[in-house]
Amino acid sequence: MIDGFIALYIFMLAAFTGYEVIGRVPTILHTPLMSGSNFVHGIVLVGAMVALGRASTTLEMVIGFLGVALGAGNAVGGYVVTERMLEMFRSSKPSGTGQTSGKQH
Amino acid sequence: MGGGIATTLVSASYLLAAALFITGLKRMSSPVTARGGIVWAGVGMVVATVATFFTPDLSNFALIMVAIALGGGVAWITGKRVAMTDMPQMIALYNGMGGGAAAAIAAVELFKGEAHSGVVLALAVLGGLIGAVSFSGSLIAFGKLQDLIKRSFRFRGQNIVNLAVLLASVLVGGSLVFAAMGPAAGVVTLFFGLALVLGVTMTLPIGGADMPVVISLYNALTGLAVAFEGFVLNNAAMIIAGVVVGSAGTLLTQLMARAMNRSLANVLFSGFGETAGPQGEVSGSMKGIDAADVGVMMAFAQKVIIVPGYGMAVAQAQHKVWELAKLLQDRGVTVKFAIHPVAGRMPGHMNVLLAEAGVPYDVIYDESEINAEFDNTDVALIIGANDVVNPAARTDKSSPIYGMPILNADKARNVIVIKRGKGSGFSGIENGLFFLDNTHMLYGDGQAMAAALIQSVKAL
């Protein structure tokens, strides 16, 4: 279904998308963003589910099982740590500490 | 994939998931919307995972669910428990899992030996190679940052050995693609064995200081491996998400390498991380100072810039430092935090650690925003940072960090360095800043010293 040039088109457009989306990210978010992109490739889980779901021999099942467990670890772990990091980012303005450094001189 | 409502629904869900991932990543690139970004991406993941259960011709549902519960459960617990200081190695670990999963998909496909076209087989093999390298390499990176692997293993001709292992994996992988009878099980096993070894031998020689760049690179590689396996499985969500992460991760890797003034090739093949040998000795002596004097100095200053480093986080001093900053702000002192791109163990890591202590992100400035301000700063308080304020990066051409952008803390009227002892930094380079006339050393544990400073400011 996805083959030849269509595949190349998808590849190219997705590559540009990734580049553009990250392009102007401030340094302060590099670590959470790396973690966030790490979470996104956790989509490998669905591929591993299909591989295990179609496995027939014991060997295939064992490897598929490992794949699903690892993929789930990638997705869940990636989400939890990214969420924990981003949850902490807050601005001084709405939180009302009232002491933004820029004001005084 | 044939027709059928189930197939259409699964495909539609994958499309939705891909859109949610991209939107999520976009939102994650601004601090205002970042929190929502991960939630969007998370919704995408749930949609795609649930939809996958409706894929036609699937069996082994019980196994699938047990595996998800097991892998997801362990990751949930470890992810909730990990300290913010240990975040880089945790990211490495979860990333390695993704690489391993991609390699597992390739292994299942190859062991099955179903009739695939040459291109599909080649993609399966390539994705398997990259995934396996990312898996074992990330585990080594985790071990190094977690201090499980204490030293860098380096020997003569290391690059040649790595190249030989790489060539062998490519040759064996190539033979899988062109095997007339379909891939033989023994050859498949050999192939994955070689790929796993390659990840280990590639990563072992790299020093701890360079690890973040390597982790970021493996992150991009895992994305690529996922995309290749997506082509094999005809799975659009995997292709799009994998390629997006592959290209975003490559850009992020370049940004990090640039912030450290290293090229990627340099990081991978030269292994400077821990070998910085003897450089020009710095002359002069370090002058001590006690906390009471520093407290007075800061309390009556107009402007104080705090430069935190990883040492602050290790000492768990960030809460005390923020308390000190608030105290000074209440006295009308302008307090800013200056963060070098590579402060902490990964670009942006220090921002996470400060955020954990409740420091709002708008009093935190990066090196390009704040460097001009050190000239009219009364006190630069350096706590747990070393290499990122080393003026040798501007002046000493023989220094390994020459040319690295640094924070010009030495230009402040007074420089106070909180430091545990007289040793040198993560890279092992002597720091001339400590010997300057306007520099005073406050020896002690970061947290204890920050507490002492709070006391002395309160006492005024």
Cβ of residue B386 closer than 8 Å to a chain A Cβ: no
d(CA B390, CA B407): 8
Query: How many beta-carbon contacts under 8 Å exist across A and B?
Result: 413
Over 60: is that where the pLDDT of B280 sits?
no
Cβ of residue A90 closer than 8 Å to a chain B Cβ: yes
- Residues with Cβ within 8 Å of residue A73, at least 6 apart in sequence: B71, B72, B74, B75, B94, B97
With CA atoms as reference, the chain A residue closest to B332 would be: A104
Cβ of residue A69 closer than 8 Å to a chain B Cβ: yes
Instruction: Report residue B278's pLDDT band, with 50, 70 and 90 as the boundaries.
Output: very low
Over 70: is that where the pLDDT of B1 sits?
no
Burial bucket for residue B424 (CB in 10 Å: 0-12, 13-18, 19+): middle
Contact assignment for A76 to B76 by CB distance below 8 Å:
yes
For A61, the closest of B63, B69, B219 (CB atoms) is B63
DSSP reduced 3-state for B89? helix
d(CA B44, CA B15): 9
Cβ of residue A25 closer than 8 Å to a chain B Cβ: yes
Residues B84-105 have pLDDT tens digits of 889 999 999 999 999 999 999 9
Instruction: Report residue A92's pLDDT band, with 50, 70 and 90 as the boundaries.
Output: low
Evaluated on CA atoms B128, B251, A69, A55, the torsion sign reads: negative
ipTM here: 0.87
DSSP single-letter state for residue B336: E
Contact assignment for B239 to A42 by CB distance below 8 Å:
no
Q: Which residues of B are catalytic?
A: 387
φ/ψ of residue B415, rounded to 5: -120, 125
Is A19 within 8 Å of B252 (Cβ atoms)? no
d(CA A39, CA A42): 5
Q: Report the first-to-last Cα separation within chain B, whole angstroms.
A: 76
d(CA B435, CA B439): 7
Mean pLDDT value across chain B: 88
Q: Which residue, among B311, B267, B251, B254, has the nearest Cα to B442 in the 3D structure?
A: B311
- Tell me how close the Cα of A6 comes to any Cα of chain B, in angstroms: 11
- For chain B, positions 119-178, list CB contacts with chain A under 8 A: none
The pLDDT of residue B181: 67
Cβ of residue B107 closer than 8 Å to a chain A Cβ: yes
Mean pLDDT value across chain A: 84
DSSP character string of B368-388: HHHGGGGGG-SEEEEES--GG
DSSP single-letter state for residue A1: -
Q: Across the beta sheet with B364-366, what order do the strands follow?
A: B364-366, B334-339, B303-308, B379-383, B414-419, B439-443
List alpha helices for B285-379, DSSP H: 291-299, 310-314, 318-330, 349-356, 367-370
Chain B residues within an 8 Å CB radius of A40: 21, 24-25, 41, 223, 241, 244-245
Within 10 A of B32 (CB to CB), how many other CB atoms are there? Answer: 11
Contact assignment for A41 to B242 by CB distance below 8 Å:
yes
Evaluated on CA atoms B219, B225, B227, B229, the torsion sign reads: negative
- Residues with Cβ within 8 Å of residue B186, at least 6 apart in sequence: none
Tokens of residue B222, six digits: 């895992």
d(CA B370, CA B383): 17
The pLDDT of residue B424: 57
Cβ of residue B33 closer than 8 Å to a chain A Cβ: no
Chain B residues within an 8 Å CB radius of A33: 25, 28-29, 248, 252, 348
Q: Which residues pair with B416 in a beta bridge?
A: B381, B440
**Poorest-pLDDT segment among A31-45, B290-304, B393-407:** B393-407
With CA atoms as reference, the chain A residue closest to B78 would be: A77
- Tell me how close the Cα of A12 comes to any Cα of chain B, in angstroms: 8
